[in-house]
Chain A
């Protein structure tokens, strides 16, 4: 895990993606954050995966940045022993991006989780359905967005149960 290796993987990424990478920031000893644009996202990701021999995705984390929604794809590259974390920013009013579940089937549930909790639509996902939230959770309310307060989330979570408790 020497520094030269980290540098070389940075170079490799730059060589593969060229100017499609907008920022690239290495966090020693083993992590690299980089940002891609949503337009070419899937194409770029596929090239990166193929060229670097990546097969593992840890998860997709979504963050509501208030002006946009940021997704981070946490990949692990065995060849260089580095974590490659790919950032992509989506518009908040209609967040959508191409699904990567056909190139990395391990991402199927993570995409559903992000869809469920943050409302990002993954185009081409085989079964983009609710994963964690209860069935009576209202559509269009995404609990991990910053405009949903904790109290609201609690109310929806209780759902019918809250109503029943109030009645009795």
Chain B
């Protein structure tokens, strides 16, 4: 049978965000996959060079909605190294707590999406309901549900009060029970299990060779985790296990993420119990000394990498981001080889892709100029103007 090439994307129901693959098919079997990225490229790296360090913090938060706190943590950790300041211990613990809550929320969200991809909508609804509790908790601590804006260079914005800690502990107990239940579902439900086991296998040698990161490589049995290898914030003080599974298939990646939720729950409990007192932020000068710094953070999807170079002015000279999804794309293409067409959604979902995050990003609307905060009135006027120009359809 001749090899048939079919393009999938940039719009496709299995892909929640724009990315394009060209699949080479031999009948029902995929023999090759070539990705085309950039549909959500917004040029944030260039834009950040024209923003002050504080503005760039908000920019970095907006790279990704789901792992937003991983981006700001990475940004402030890197920027603090450039500024030569250190956040107070309590702030570091709060960063750990918010990061781990974010990881739980991201993994639950992912589990729901995976369930939806295999047509298991009941699990999808259940996980997303439980995820709401994490979001409520995050809203209570930070005041926001998606972009938390908790981190600042030199500390954090909001403290965690004892009442909040009590509430969080209760939610953790509930979530632990639920997560154990989901683990049983993933291990025991025959249909769900059939769709995931032995699908999209990534061998440990391929995972290392192609520099996969995060749960994708840990699902192949390679024990690597930035939180352990290159600890930041207070991760060197909070005990946890690095979860690995050896099979390398979609099921192993699922179980890695579910077990990581359980680890995160324990980490949050430990951090809440052992939080040191004191200040939550320190003052930071406007201008850093010239220099450069690297920051690495274990985002829910894997290693997040920032590089900031300063030339002594108020604006970063170079701001470089490498998100985990980009690192996992070569491994994904390897995993897609030799699978059935019907498994494509599962395998693509198994790396937990975040396309907007990966493409990063150019554009702010020029007509808005440099204005970031809009009043309701201005927004109304803008919308009226827009409709005048474009006509009502």
Contact = CB atoms under 8 A, between A and B. Distances in A.
Interface of A: 27, 30-31, 55-59, 61, 63-64, 72, 74, 76, 78, 81, 83, 85, 104-110, 113, 117, 130-134, 143-144, 148, 150, 153-154, 157-158
Which 8 pairs of residues, A with B, have the shortest CB-CB distance? A106-B211, A59-B322, A132-B38, A61-B320, A157-B362, A132-B41, A63-B318, A55-B208
Given A78-B229, A83-B294, 16 more contacts: A27-B81, A59-B320, A61-B318, A72-B307, A81-B229, A85-B294, A104-B211, A106-B209, A106-B327, A108-B330, A113-B326, A132-B359, A144-B45, A150-B50, A153-B362, A154-B363
Contacts of A63: 309, 317-318
Nearest to A112: B37
Interface in B50-98: 50, 81
Contact of B322 (A58, A64, A81, A150): A58
Nearest to A155: B366
Contacts of A131: 37-38
Contacts of B125: none
B37 A143 contact: no
Interface in B317-362: 317-318, 320, 322, 326-327, 329-330, 359, 362
Contacts of B305: 58-59, 74
Q: Is the interface of A mostly helix, strand, loop or mixed?
A: mixed
B230 interface: yes
A57 B293 CA distance: 17
Contacts, number: 94
Q: Which of A58, A131, A133 has the most CB of B within 10 A?
A: A58
A109 B326 CA distance: 8
B372 to A, nearest CB: 15
Interface residues of B, number: 36
A50 B43 CA distance: 36
A99 B320 CA distance: 20
Given A59-B322, A143-B46, A83 B362 contact: no
Given A58-B296, A59-B320, A143-B46, A132 B37 contact: yes
A64 B45 CA distance: 13
Given A57-B211, A109-B326, A30 B307 contact: no
Nearest to B211: A106
Given A31-B294, A58-B322, A85-B294, A105 B307 contact: no
Contacts of A31: 294
Contact of A109 (B50, B309, B320, B330): B330
B234 interface: no
B43 A153 contact: yes
A106 B330 contact: yes
8 contacts: A55-B211, A59-B307, A61-B318, A64-B318, A74-B305, A105-B330, A113-B326, A132-B37
